[in-house]
Structure 1
Amino acid sequence: MFDSTTKSGNKPNFIDLFAGAGGLSEGFVRAGCEPIAHVEADTAAAYTLRTREAYHILSGRGDLSGYFAYLSGQINRKELYSLAFGSRSSSVINAEIGAKALSGIFDRLDFQIGNRKLDLIVGGPPCQAYSLVGRARSELKMVGDERNYLFVYYAEFLKRYRPRFFIFENVVGLLTARESDGTRYFDMMWALFKNLGYTVEYQVIAADEHGIPQKRKRIILVGRLGKKDGFFPELDKTSTDFLVKDAIGDLPPLRAGKGGALVTSLEKPPSRWLAESGLLSADRSTTWHEARPHNPRDLKIFKKVVNEWNTRGERLSYNDLPETLKTHKNRSSFLDRFKVVAADLPASHTVVAHIAKDGNYYIHPDNAQNRSLTPREAARLQTFPDDFYFESTSGKPSRTSAFKQIGNAVPVLLAEKISKKLVENWS
């Protein structure tokens, strides 16, 4: 961890809006920044943030025994929080950012920020309204959807707290999403941020060009208070010297429907990439290595899809399947609906939240296992640390909830790289 400090010598502090499971935040923490608060509407993701906050508190005390007791099922979530927080509250605010809740959120943040000067706001609103897929599936192409305007509330936080910098991330479709009159939402937010006194710079960043084992493109906007430009955190491109199997190959083999959410010991030696990534836990254990069950028809399809890739290096089209295995009436689009995460490529295809609904687009490359990815394998591709636990609303493990949070996240190591470069331009 590098010595990231502000001009006053303190670590840069930040709040995370639309925080999700905290991939962006976790990267900034790894880079030495201090989170003041997270605001997240989804209750399960808010619990994930609280559990990770508990991890960092206990880690700061030099004793993670209580955290690992929780991961192994020896204590419950309430007991973990009592151990970490004592009589004080978590800094996580579980609220939907919008007109109704804004005043209450500000009251909480005012208390948590106190007399400190806020250095940074990070986060990005839900991407469905801007994504190409979301628009394709919407009868009205998402025009008029209130989620298009969540950047207006993001701006309210900039207006109130005047941080030195902000980072706004979203899908690349933000560059083309338009209002009914043809106005780009991107231009609307750019003008709004400028009117608040911020100079804004942006880039489309491909995660696989920066050491992430996943093809994932995101637009990153960085705003700086004032008129100075040239501050965008230019990332050094990383040569590809690893493969997808280096990210997931040390995890124990599983058949469909096997595994579990709690602690799994990892006995196979990690790849060099994993050993150098900083993602491994000290005791070589992890959680959420649990494979979903599949029906016999899908398992037969998985076999064919994996075999086609592993023997010929080709993707199997849905139309090439035997008629006895076809159930979808649509034979003209989404023909790659069954897709293997190829072990011998330097990056997987993008992990998205749809993985929570089925695993057909994320088939494990080992035909002997004959299944889709586990949440932990998806989390590895998103570069979450192995000791990062994904919560549910009830406290009982929910694979669906874990997948959804992982698919919606920013890769942790990418966020860490952005944070480090941003702090280099802090003056």
Structure 2
Amino acid sequence: MNKKDAKKAPVLRFKGFTNDWEQRKLSDETNRIRSYSISHGFEVAEDTGTKYIHYGDIHTGKVKNINNINVLPNIEDNNYKPLKYGDVIVADASEDYKGIADACIVNTISNSYKIVAGLHTIAFRPKSKLCSKFLYFYLSTDIFKHFGYKTGTGLKVFGISYKELAKFKLKEPSATEQKKIVKLLFLIEKAIHLQQRKLRLLKLLKKATQQNIFASTECLPKLKYRNLTGKWQLYRLKDVAKITMGQSPNSKNYTQNPIDHILVQGNADIRNGYVFPRIWTTEITKIANRGDIILCVRAPAGDVGKTKFNVVIGRGVAAIKGNDFIFQQLQFMKSSGYWKKYISGSTFESINSNDIKNAKIFCPSQLEQKNISSLLDDIDTSIQIQQKNILDFKYIKQFLLQNMFI
């Protein structure tokens, strides 16, 4: 694309804005703020009044829109030059190109705390014409990521220098339009944050419910239905469910043809609690039928899912013909560390046929099993809906980033 054909306005704009966007170098629109080689080794437990931003915390998402200083680690002050409200900090090193120049923004004002930029960071302070939050979102666009991909250097660890970053040419609208774009995107980010918080609460509810139902060792859980007071009976898993240990087909019979038999070998073949077809095979060894529980017997041992298909099972999994109550109890056994006593000390995390067959399972009456599994299934459904809500908001944010910037 030549200069004449270059876009001067984004595809998606607010009503009333028609002026072309102006192109400027990042170095002309910002001042560089000093960063320091402060790493995790400088961190202290006590509150010192000085916090710092580590590039690793930017990559993990621990720090993005910094409006709560408590997420930042403490360090001893050493006459560091502090960051200010609106400063944008980018990570100048990453293990992959996608993470090059991931950004965060200081979005809090505190007279009692000092925040400084730490190891492998480059800090910018936008000048008056450039809204700092607009820059923060700009650095999340594919436009900037592509620039980082082309400019970054390195083999195992990729990096980008201030000298190269300063050359980046961004296009910006009027201050009024910048603020409108920023307001919309922050509303989306707030919605994502709230949905993620609701998801965390639902997962805590699920964990607490399972603990109060399954954690008792006296065959009488803490949480019971009012009219169902009978004691639970202790069984071995093999006494209440049919167990089939997997057997891997010959690798020469593996295919990518969905017409063949779905092969389940381990945790990689399970997504969101269900088998997700990834590899197929022409050879049938051991099988699991639709509705069976799939238990991973190798690292991570104890993970469980279900299958909506008839599948061939490899030696990394076992198939269990059990109801939803058993599935929920197996989930709890994994989260509570039940299988650790079988895998501790081994160089390769795994559980064997005897471990699984002799696993202790508590069972109440069929009616109580049905009520409990229905309750936990409802929470699972709410969790899945919440996960979808988060993905939907993230897709909206990505769409806006792709269409509201040039």
Q: Which has the higher contact order (CA 8 A, sep 6+)?
A: 1
What TM-score do the two structures reach when normalised by structure 2?
0.23
Q: Which one has the largest radius of gyration?
A: 2
